[in-house]
């Protein structure tokens, strides 16, 4: 029964990911991505990773989907995905080879699971991996600053207006100086 649940969730995630990828318009793709995120978070929950499942669901299915839909509303009609340059059979062969290699390398790890006892995420995150928390804080700060820098247009507009004003005010002075020179 547990195997069937994992199989259904894995197939649902792969199917939604495929639909998100081949969809011609981006709004359905964003919604399919949210479904992928939901399937992955249920799988994570069943694996016992409760905290990461909650983070994945709230960030992956919530925040990222909202950001994608907002971006599509800003960008407008240019959301059509053009045809690929690489022939699809070639891409399929490359990806198939990569997938087989990845599965072949990872399979021995999962066939011999080790039981080390329960270690709480809080202990790992705040004691063993405290540097990761600082990296996350720095990343979030950098992301906020990056988005503010990319999307802020007010300062550019103000500078353009200042330049126009300076040009208007300096023009009469230049004309006056020319007239004075003539006199």
Partner 1 sequence: MNISPLDIVLLGTVLLLAVGFYGLLITRNLIKLVLVLQILVKAAVMALVLAGKSSGNLGLGQSLAATVIVADTVVAVVALALAVQVRKHAGTLDVTKLSSLRG
89 touches partner 1 (CB under 8 A): no
The two structure tokens encoding residue 27: 């709004």
Residues 6+ apart with CB under 8 A from 32: 16, 17, 19, 20, 23
177 touches partner 1 (CB under 8 A): no
Site for partner 1 in 136-175 (CB under 8 A): 136, 139-140, 142-143, 146-147, 150-151
Question: Residue count at the site for partner 1 (CB under 8 A)?
Answer: 89
66 touches partner 1 (CB under 8 A): no
- Which of these, 167, 50, 63, lies nearest to 120 by C-alpha position? 50
Site for partner 1 in 124-143 (CB under 8 A): 124-125, 128-129, 132, 135-136, 139-140, 142-143
Q: Angle at the Cα of 29 (from 75 to 38), degrees rounded to 5?
A: 125
Nearest distance from residue 166's CB to partner 1, in Å?
A: 25
Nearest distance from residue 39's CB to partner 1, in Å?
A: 9
31 touches partner 1 (CB under 8 A): no
Give the side-chain half-sphere CA count within 13 A for 33.
21
Q: Which stretch binds partner 1 (CB under 8 A): 30-38, 158-166, 167-175?
A: 30-38
* Spatial distance between the Cα atoms of 17 and 2, rounded to a whole number of angstroms: 23
């Amino acid at each position: 029964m547990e195997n069937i649940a994992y199989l259904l969730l894995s197939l649902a995630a792969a199917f939604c990911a495929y639909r998100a990828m081949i969809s011609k318009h981006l709004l359905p793709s964003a919604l399919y991505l949210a479904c992928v995120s939901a399937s992955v978070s249920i799988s994570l929950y069943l694996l016992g990773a409760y905290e990461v499942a909650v983070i994945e669901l709230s960030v992956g299915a919530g925040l990222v989907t909202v950001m994608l839909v907002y971006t599509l509303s800003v960008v407008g009609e240019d959301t059509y995905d053009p045809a690929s340059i690489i022939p699809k059979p070639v891409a399929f062969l490359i990806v198939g080879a990569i997938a087989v290699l990845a599965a072949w390398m990872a399979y021995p790890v999962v066939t011999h699971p080790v039981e080390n006892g329960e270690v709480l995420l809080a202990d790992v995150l705040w004691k063993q991996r405290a540097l990761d928390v600082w990296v996350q804080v720095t990343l979030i700060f950098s992301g906020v600053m990056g988005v503010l820098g990319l999307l802020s247009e007010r300062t550019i507009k103000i500078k353009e207006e200042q330049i126009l004003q300076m040009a208007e005010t300096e023009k009469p002075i230049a004309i006056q100086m020319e007239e004075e020179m003539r006199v």
